[in-house]
Structure 1
Amino acid sequence: MSVFSRFFRKRQPVVEENVEDFTELPIDAEPSEKMKVIIEKIEGLSDADRVIKKVRTGNIVIARIKELKEQNVDELKHCISKIKTSASVFQGDLAGVGDEWLLITPSSVRINRDEAPGEAGHV
């Protein structure tokens, strides 16, 4: 009898959720500002501050350090240290490109250091 009671018993009414309980979130009609790649030249500590400010606003900065390297290596080390510390605070990334350039990115961009040029489809 218990087998038949499973098939012929009254079903419990299904409780439907009220659609009015949910609220729609507004969609941004206006897209956010596009990310820019900015070329800068670092000639001193004041330039390092300017580069940090641009990266914090979400831009990628490629900074030329050749002139400062030729003039004052100690100041260059201080500038790089300052940029590196600031980048780590806001989860940015920093990489040297050759001996003349620094690439500094905001937290939304990561620099891939795993692949060598010429691998994985690079031309």
Structure 2
Amino acid sequence: MKRIAVLTCGGDAPGMNPAIRAVVRTSLDRGWEVFGIRQGYAGLIAGNMAPLGTRDVGGIIQRGGTILGSSRCPEFKTQKGRERAILQLHQQKIDGLVVIGGNGSQTGAQALTRAFIS
């Protein structure tokens, strides 16, 4: 069974909760386990994640912000911070990570991918 995690980071933006809901529902339909990471990359580094199910994402489309919380994380910009993030993903046996956010969030995801591969 695949295990994926989803996080939101940077500033809150419209559509974050619907995106979380879509990730969770699609993953569960495929038989995957889904974990929500609270407070973005800071939560990833700290290992702040919990399973998400259908009930967790029911009725969130109308709510503003993000149910997972969001933060900016200067520590993630360092190699040591990214290494800690990768360690958390390995320890939790996470196969994939969905990052919801803007340009900075995607730049962080790209840096994490590079660090993970090397």
| Normalised TM-score (structure 1) | 0.28
By relative contact order (CA 8 Å, sep 6+), the higher-ranking structure is 2
Q: In terms of Rg, which structure is larger?
A: 1
